[in-house]
Amino acid sequence: MAGLAPLRGRSFLVIGRAGMDLYADPPGTRIEEATRFTTALGGSSANIAAALVRQGCRASLVTCVSDDAVGRFCLSRLQAHGIDHAHVRTVSGEPRNSLAIVETRIDNCQSVIYRNNAADFAMTVADVEAVDYATFSALITTGTVLAAEPSRSATFRAFDLARAAGLPLILDVDYRPYSWPSADIAADVYSRAAALCDVIIGNDVEFDFMAGHRGGGLDKARSLIAEGAQIVVYKMGEKGAVTITAEGEFATGIYQTQALKPTGAGDSFLGAFVAGLADGLPLRKAVLRGSAAAAMVVARVACAPAMPDRAELDTFLSHHPGPTP
């Protein structure tokens, strides 16, 4: 395992998908009743990269996009968000970028995701071997990138290369059952990936899945620390989070806000949390910055465009009464 001191360099390599989100407009409209949609950059890894850039960090994405208008949309949006896409490869043929058709509503929010023959799964070992890892401060990925080949093998190769360069590995579990051929394969791959990572973030449902039974998630999170991880954040939605290290664990609450939608919170949390660590903040304060950023994003339309910048996050924290106990 690598130490976390390299995070201070504030330059992050993010592996995983970029996609196109279509939001039923105006907010509150159900998809089946919509007559118009607004567009935004989406995909968990692209969202995380956008969150990092908004927090004053540098972020470079490694993935593949389709050779069509949607792929070009993703490239243009990455550029607009200040995300380096020098390592984003365009693939021709049948692969297509992810599309998410989403509602901006809290109650019974529908999110319809199309990932048939997803372009990001076409990422190869050659793609990750083309990266100069010595120029980055950490490698960040989400579990979705592990769901299919050749992307899975490419990601494990990137782990090896990043580790050789002394970079910390950060994993957002991001378990999406529809992306995997079976739960058994997913559990095995996640176990192998988590064993290599320094910082692991997921929600209670995802850790339950990794544990293999309902209610076992917190013990699973604790076991990852025993196996060598340095930080594990076990998120519990409205109940807050438990952050675990070898020195102990602590619970934190959430920042109440007037939410418009449930999506984007996890990506925003990770971006602001990692940026806080990169700033040298105490762990609890970094977690709370992540929680505040998550609260801000769910109160805004879209995901990548909704990520708060550093000044907005500071203002939110200075005016908010504080997290729940």
Crossing angle for the helix pair 151-164 and 183-194, nearest 10 degrees? 10
Cα–Cα distances (Å) from 165 to 11, 136, 162, 168, in that order, read 14, 9, 5, 9
| Average pLDDT across the chain, whole number | 97
Q: Say whether pTM exceeds 0.85.
A: yes
CATH code for the domain in which residue 140 is found: 3.40.1190.20
| Distance (Å, whole) CA 240 – CA 291 | 8
- Tally the domains of the chain: 1
pLDDT value at residue 170: 98
The sign of the CA dihedral 253, 256, 261, 267 is: negative
Name the nearest CA neighbour of 49 among 11, 8, 89. 11
Nearest by Cα to 304 from 85, 110, 49, 72? 49
Does 38 fall in a domain? no
Mean pLDDT of 60-85: 98
- pLDDT bracket for residue 325 (50, 70, 90): confident
Q: What is the mean pLDDT of residues 86-90?
A: 98
**Does residue 104 lie within any of the structural domains?**
no
Count CA atoms closer than 13 A to 69's CA, side-chain side: 0
Residue 243 belongs to a domain: yes
Rounded Cα–Cα distance for residues 123 and 224 (Å): 28
Q: Is residue 225 part of a domain?
A: yes
Q: Is residue 143 part of a domain?
A: yes
DSSP state at residue 118: B
Is 245 within a domain? yes
pLDDT at 176: 92
Which among 175, 172, 191 is positioned nearest to 231, based on CA atoms? 172
In a domain, 24, yes or no: no
How are strands ordered across the β-sheet holding 111-114? 37-42, 19-24, 98-102, 111-114
Residue 29 falls inside a structural domain: no
Tell me what pLDDT residue 1 has.
Answer: 63
Share of the chain above pLDDT 90, in %: 98
Range of the domain at 208: 5-18+43-94+115-319
**Mean pLDDT along residues 58-65:** 98
* Radius of gyration (C-alpha) of the chain in whole angstroms: 18
pLDDT tens digits, 75-87: 999 999 999 999 9
